[in-house]
């Protein structure tokens, strides 16, 4: 975390053309030449002189945002990648870092979006604002596809522009007076949105944690499921399965314990199932498979990693009508209010795409995309296994969690970037229990994954 504090103060810009040159890293790897995308550079704009003389408003900065550490993890990874490219302009950098999808969206899905899009140019096909909660047909298809026999109904489902956006909207519903727990390590949006809402104290450098958040340790020793007997009661429990970053998926028995724990404590679980369709093992894909979950859980999910919708933007959140606040008021009604106030509904073209995803051909096409990334995962797992590393995840999620005992995650991240031009994600960026791990994402073109594995083998042979 300390390295994250050393944000550079230069503005970096770049274009893709500089990165098309063949790799200079090793003669054995020169045969693969792949064009690189434009990089998304995080601009950290500061000109010390300008800062001193610039006009300032009288508005004070939100003190909660000021509590956040150097920045969101992924912009920091992107910044380091940009710095690396300035140093090695001809390097063929392979990104197995942020976890963005790379494979084209299946045609059956884009055709439906194109049709809706063209329809917007006609009097009959035009539509403006839609229902904030999403189109009826999509809500109904989501209910039957993912929650068929689980008692979740169409009106329990809120279609959105993605799970991350819903996580923040849920935080607005909860407000600043709740306490919350997260898996440690976990997807950074939970902690960061909690900090921004003012639910936490300051960051405590000695333990690398925010005060007033319950970090539920998830390590190889406990099979990446928290020891609930040591977890302090909180109002909200964020729980992601299959987990980003560890790739661990909770079993039915573990989730039954989690639901009981929430019930005993009167807590609400926010269950993130963004990777549910990556599950190979026979674990629940929805928290609502657990009896009684409807009274204690919300579930958020997304098309991002199933159909390459990271740019299209479409997700959904299930808030069952049985879930009540302490005064008996339905949580769904407040969520509806926030959705109507802060959001005007998901893009109608995206929703046409979502509906196509849930057609028989769309479901098959999504399974193919997922299968492709799972094959990548297998290649990465086998590579690190063959090098003698302890490797976790991969079986139920597109993430491989590689252990580098007694080493700093950021040091390993830098070593890999410097010596192989591969971008990974340092485990400590996901929480203190991620220290000593690197997350390797399986999202990538096959030739890039194979090339990355060749480079890993060379570095760690
Ligand atoms: C666990 C988890 N939840 C949510 C998201 C965000 O999904 P969306 O693209 O739908 O906002 C991600 C994206 O990486 C994720 O890993």
- DSSP assignment string, 117-172: HHHTTSTTT---S--TT--HHHHHHHHHHHHTTTT--GGGEEEES-HHHHHHHHHH
- CB-based contact 458:101 (threshold 8 Å): no
- CB-based contact 446:376 (threshold 8 Å): yes
The pLDDT of residue 75: 82
- CB-based contact 43:391 (threshold 8 Å): no
- Report the CATH fold assignment for 107-362: 3.40.640
The pLDDT of residue 69: 77
- pTM higher than the cut 0.85: yes
274 lines ligand 1 (CB under 6 A): yes
**Kind and range of the H or E element at 66?**
helix 63-67
The pLDDT of residue 71: 64
346 lines ligand 1 (CB under 6 A): no
Domain ranges for the chain: 6-45, 65-103+363-460, 107-362
Cα 387 to Cα 144, 312, 434: the distances in Å are 44, 38, 21
Q: What is the CA radius of gyration of the chain?
A: 22
The pLDDT of residue 52: 66
- CB-based contact 262:269 (threshold 8 Å): yes
Residue nearest to atom 14 of ligand 1 (CA): 99
Q: How far apart are CA 380 and CA 363, in angstroms?
A: 26
The pLDDT of residue 358: 98
- CATH entry, 65-103+363-460, from 3.40.50.2000, 2.60.40.2130, 3.40.50.150, 3.90.1150.10: 3.90.1150.10
**How is residue 314 annotated by DSSP?**
-
CA of 113 to the centre of ligand 1 (A): 22
Q: How far apart are CA 290 and CA 25, in angstroms?
A: 51
The pLDDT of residue 84: 96
Residue nearest to atom 2 of ligand 1 (CA): 274
The pLDDT of residue 12: 31
Q: How far apart are CA 455 and CA 422, in angstroms?
A: 8
Q: C-alpha angle 425/429/430, rounded to 5°?
A: 100
CA of 98 to the centre of ligand 1 (A): 11
State the 10-residue block means of pLDDT for the chain, 461 residues long: 33 32 34 37 44 87 89 82 95 93 97 98 97 98 97 98 98 98 97 97 93 98 98 98 98 98 98 98 97 98 98 98 98 98 97 98 98 98 98 98 96 97 96 97 98 98 91
Structure tokens given for 459: 């570095």
Q: What is the largest CA-CA distance in the chain?
A: 68
State the CB neighbour count (10 A cutoff) for residue 356: 26
């Amino acid at each position: 975390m300390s390295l994250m504090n050393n944000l550079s103060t230069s503005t970096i810009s770049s274009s893709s053309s500089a990165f098309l040159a063949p790799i200079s890293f090793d003669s054995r790897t020169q045969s693969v030449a792949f064009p690189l995308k434009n990089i998304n550079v995080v601009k950290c704009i500061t000109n010390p002189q300008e800062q001193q003389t610039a006009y300032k408003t009288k508005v004070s900065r939100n003190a909660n945002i000021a509590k956040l550490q150097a920045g969101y993890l992924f912009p920091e990874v992107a910044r380091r990648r940009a710095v690396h490219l300035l140093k090695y302009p001809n390097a063929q950098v392979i990104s197995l870092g942020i976890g963005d999808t790379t494979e084209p969206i299946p045609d059956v899905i884009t055709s439906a979006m194109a049709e809706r899009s063209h329809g917007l140019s006609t009097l009959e096909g035009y539509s403006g604002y839609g229902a904030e909660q999403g189109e009826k047909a999509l809500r109904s298809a989501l209910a039957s596809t993912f929650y068929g026999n689980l008692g979740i109904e169409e009106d329990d489902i809120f279609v959105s522009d993605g799970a991350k956006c819903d996580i923040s909207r849920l935080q607005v519903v909860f407000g600043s007076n709740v306490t919350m727990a997260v898996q440690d390590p976990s997807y950074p949006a939970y902690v960061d949105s909690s900090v921004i809402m003012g639910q936490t104290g300051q960051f405590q450098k000695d333990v690398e944690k925010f005060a007033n958040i319950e970090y539920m340790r998830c390590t190889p020793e406990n099979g990446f499921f928290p020891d609930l007997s040591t977890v302090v009661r909180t109002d909200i429990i964020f729980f992601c399965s299959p987990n980003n970053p560890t790739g661990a998926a909770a079993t039915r028995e573990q989730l039954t314990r989690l639901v009981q724990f929430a019930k005993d404590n009167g807590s609400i679980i926010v269950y993130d199932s963004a990777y549910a369709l990556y599950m190979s093992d026979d674990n629940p894909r929805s928290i609502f498979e657990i009896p009684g979950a409807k009274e204690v859980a919300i579930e958020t999910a997304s098309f991002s990693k199933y159909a390459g919708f990271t740019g299209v933007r479409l997700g959904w959140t299930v808030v069952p009508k049985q879930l009540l606040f302490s005064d008996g008021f339905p949580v769904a009604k407040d969520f509806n209010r926030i959705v109507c106030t802060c959001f005007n509904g998901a893009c109608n073209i995206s929703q046409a795409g979502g509906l196509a995803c849930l057609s028989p051909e769309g479901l098959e096409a999504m399974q193919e995309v997922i299968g492709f990334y799972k094959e990548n995962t297998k290649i990465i797992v086998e590579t690190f296994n063959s090098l003698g590393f302890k490797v976790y995840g991969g079986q139920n999620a597109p993430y491989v969690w590689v252990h580098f005992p007694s080493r700093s995650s950021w040091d390993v991240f830098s070593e890999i970037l410097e010596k192989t031009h591969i971008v990974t994600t340092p485990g400590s960026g996901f929480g203190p229990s991620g220290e000593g791990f690197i997350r390797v994402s399986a999202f990538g073109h096959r030739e890039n994954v194979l090339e990355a594995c060749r480079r890993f083998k060379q570095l760690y042979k």
